[in-house]
Structure 1
Amino acid sequence: MFDGHDPFLVALSVGIAILGGYTGFSLAARIRAVPGASRRLLLAGAAGFFAVGIWTMHFIGILAAPMPADTVYLVLPTVISFLICALVVGVSLFFVSIGEPTLPRLASSAVLLGAGIASMHYVGIHGLAGRFTIIHDLPMIVLSVLIAVLAAYGGLRAFLARQEGVRLAASAVAFGIAVSGMHYTAMMGMHFAPAAGGDHHMGGLAVSQQWLAVIVSVLSFVIAGGFLLSLVPDPRGRAVDAAAGAVSEGGIGLSVGTEVTERSPAVQRLMPTPLGGIGQPRIAPVSRVPVEGAEGTHLIDVAEVRGLRANAHYTLVHDGTRERMCVWSISEAEAQLDPMQFVRVHRSHIVAIAHVTFVRKEGDGAVVELDGAVPHRVPVSRAKLAELKAMLGLAGRRGVSHPLSEAQTGHKG
């Protein structure tokens, strides 16, 4: 596959695809956790980095390949190939970032994205012009398209998984290798034949390999810069989470002078009255919880909520039957909900006290069961066990392992 290819440029093309994938995944992972205009900006940024990474990898791969002398690159097909890539990436991410990410929606988006990546490749290849014609082997075309669809499916699954750290890096590596594999598979099935009648330029503006190398180098620096920026932690988000965590732990965990950022109204729902602010009203807890559906965002009554489970930048809300996605982080959810009705029993779990029907000691912590058509169990950390027992009226009991009565839970099972 790599006969005559420059091994350094081949390695660079794979590396650029990986960096572009990592940056795109990092931005895409935040799409559901932000509102309106910010969501659109993140979607555009993720699609842009994916498209630039895939397109740049493609042309580095072309520069790595042995080409006939005097080969030039037609500007119009080259630009069209990039626009195709950007469009299909944006549309695919949009489809899987709204509503319920069902298997048919994911599969159709993967087919669209894979076909778009393959189209970008073959349109870009036919931007090559010179004293030759390009011939493709049909079996290799089919194989390259199949690899592109599988790479797209894996990439979209990684996007939906909201992975971070090592898992995100592993997903980006797999995506970069798969996209590169599609390109070099297609190149293996490509052959040059002498053109009858001289140059095969088809007219139009053209650039040399040297100019293309300059353009690709600039885009490579853009991708590398975006990758480095994606590694920088967001101190604002950490400050909000720390503030919400401090409030949840002790109720008075925020010290005088603590700075609360633009999401602070949610955190302030649990904040103590400021010094000198006796009698000032406190923002009331929310009465409904936003969850994502196929047609958009639904608002469900807090009485229906059994529990919330953290999942990276957002939470999954259990309503007694199923889990649905909520754009709040676990810290935001804790700050928004009534602390007299909901308690964070674990760093990743919040439960509704009224729906707890069973408690069992397990190791240093415990496990609680929440009612509903599909009851489910939630772990309780050792640090939260005493608080939970107090809220359930079990503070005086040394051991916990029994169902709770209706009088204790305040809810009919």
Structure 2
Amino acid sequence: MSMQLNYNWLLVLLSYAVSVLGSFTALQLAVAIPLAATQRQKTAAVVMAGGAMGLGAIWAMHFIAMLACDNGMDVSYDASLTALSALVAFAACVAGLMLVGSGRFDWLRLLAAGICMGLGVAAMHYIGMAAMMMPAKISYASGLVALSVVIAMVASTVALWLAFNLRGPLQMIGSALVMGVAVCGMHYTGMAAASFEDNGGQLPDGYAEGLRGGNLGLTIFVVVTILLVLMLVLHYWRQRYRSSISI
């Protein structure tokens, strides 16, 4: 029997908030990529921006939103698959930023980077879904899965274009709000593609050792938010320091 999904709306809102903050941080950090004087500085800027986008805006949003979902049974998460999903999101965003920022900006490079990053984001989502351990089987509606992948690629392409074409803080705030909607749209489309069917109460191996807890979603939100704010503070401090020594 297929189970109906219910959501903790506080965690849903927090997942959107962390996605917006992660997107804004990534956009701010991405400004330094084309301005980097050395390859080492460019690599550092790409890694920082990729971390903010991949781990903050995308992975943290995904995991908090997963914890917001209630399918009527206790769920734990395989730690290794959860870590792999985070690594995939980070690597995909770094690869996309590196590809589009490695030479002269053009639409072909942007499209290739967006597809690469979008496929990585979609892979992160479904690896994260595979990490769910519960007495149920998951099946997917192929049409909605395909739609979620398309949304991920479009959102990634837009994020990369914004990262290399916007400079004003107000434009970046507006873009981050839109990116939060796009990232959440991909996630909840992927969730709508999933159907959960009770397997008779049979728990998978490793269930007891999995990640779970009533406050896990809030804890992830607080930790990731603190890290993103620290990244922003460090970025602004570096900008002011460089401006002061160039005068």
- Specify if TM > 0.5: yes
The structure in which a higher percent of residues are helix is 2
1:151-162 pair list within 5 angstroms: 151-162=155-166
Give SS of 1:135's match.
strand
Following superposition, the deviation at residue 129 of structure 1 comes to: 0.3
1:116 matched to 2:114: no
Identity %: 26
- TM-score of the superposition, structure 1-length normalised? 0.54
Does residue 90 of the first structure (1) align with residue 94 of the second (2)?
yes
Q: Who is 1:403 aligned against? A: none
Q: Which is further off, 191-200 or 143-152? A: 191-200
SS at match of 2:94: helix
Structure 1 residue 220, shift from structure 2 partner: 3.1
Tell me how far apart the structure 2 counterparts of residues 14 and 197 of structure 1 sit (CA, whole Å): 33
Separation (CA, whole Å) in 1 of partners of 2:180 and 2:28? 14
C-alpha separation between the residues in 2 aligned to 1:140 and 1:75?
27
Output the CA distance in 1 between the equivalents of 2:229 and 2:11.
Answer: 16
CA gap of 1:126–1:212, structure 2 versus 1, over 3 A, is farther
1:65-144 pair list within 5 angstroms: 65-144=69-148
When residues 201 and 138 of structure 1 are mapped into structure 2, their CA distance, relative to the original with a 3 A threshold, is farther
Where 1:100 maps in the other structure, the secondary structure is coil
- Distance change in 2, residues 1:15/1:140 (3 Å): same
Instruction: Give yes or no for contact 1:132–1:200 (8 Å, CA) kept in 2.
Output: no
* Correspondence for 2:34: 32
63-72 vs 115-124, greater mean Cα deviation: 63-72
Aligned to 2:16: 14
Do the aligned partners of 2:148 and 2:189 also contact (CA within 8 Å) in 1?
yes
Find the aligned partners of 1:68 and 1:49 in 2 and give their Cα distance: 33
Q: Does the 8 Å CA contact 1:58/1:121 hold for their aligned counterparts? A: yes
Residues 1:201 and 1:228: Cα distance change in structure 2 (over 3 Å): farther
Instruction: Tell me what 2:202 maps to.
Output: 198
Instruction: Determine if the alignment matches structure 1 residue 183 to structure 2 residue 187.
Output: yes
Q: Alpha-carbon deviation of 1:8?
A: 1.7
CA contact (8 A) 1:43 1:94 kept: yes
Match for residue 55 of structure 2?
Answer: 52
Any conservation in 2 of the 1:52–1:223 contact (CA below 8 Å)?
no
**Aligned residue pair count:** 241
Higher relative strand content: 1
User: Quick one: structure 1 residues 45 and 130, their matched pair in 2 at CA, closer, same or farther if it must change by over 3 Å?
Assistant: same
Bigger-Rg structure (1/2): 1
The 8 Å contact of residues 23 and 230 in structure 1, kept in 2 or not, is answered as no
The offset of 1:100, in angstroms, is 1.6
Gaps of 5+ in 1: 240-260, 265-413
TM-score, length of structure 2 as denominator length? 0.89
- State the one-letter code of the partner of 2:22: G
- In 2: Cα distance, 1:107 partner to 1:169 partner: 24
Runs of 5+ consecutive residues of structure 2 not aligned to the other structure: none
- Tell me the residue number matched to 1:258: none
Shift of 1:234: 3.2
**Deviation readout 1:175-203 (Å, 9 max, x if unpaired):** 11100110011112212111268113467
CA distance in 2, matches of 1:205, 1:24: 33
d(CA) in 2 for partners of 1:81 and 1:156? 21
Identify if the C-alpha distance between structure 1 residues 96 and 123 changes in structure 2 by more than 3 Å, giving closer, same or farther. Answer: same
| Equivalent in 212, 234, 242 of residue 239 of structure 2 | 234
Cα distance in 2 for partners of 1:62, 1:86 equals 18
Q: C-alpha offsets along residues 77-96 of structure 1, whole Å, 9 cap, x if unaligned?
A: 10000010011110110011
Q: Residue deviations 1:30-51, cap 9 Å, x none?
A: 1111222222211111111111
Equivalent-residue separation in structure 2 for 1:86 and 1:114 (angstroms): 12
Please state how far the C-alpha of 1:211 moved relative to its aligned partner: 7.0
Q: 1:147 to 1:157 in 2, by over 3 A?
A: same
Q: Distance in 1 between the 2:155 and 2:108 partners?
A: 17
1:215–1:12 Cα change, 3 Å: closer
Matched residue, 1:365: none
Shift of 1:75: 0.5
1:220 matches 2:222: no
Structure-2 change in CA distance of 1:73 and 1:156 (3 Å)? same
Question: What amino acid does structure 1 have at the position aligned with 2:45?
Answer: L
Q: CA RMSD in A?
A: 2.3
Contact conserved, 1:51 with 1:86, CA < 8 A, in 2?
yes
Aligned partners of 1:235 and 1:102: how far apart in 2?
30
Post-superposition, which runs of at least 4 consecutive aligned residues in structure 1 deviate over 4 A?
Answer: 202-205, 227-233
The amino acid of 1:12's aligned partner reads L
Aligned residues of 1:49 and 1:223 also touching (Cα < 8 A): yes
Instruction: Specify whether residues 35 and 110 from structure 1 end up closer, same or farther in structure 2 by C-alpha distance, changes over 3 A only.
Output: same
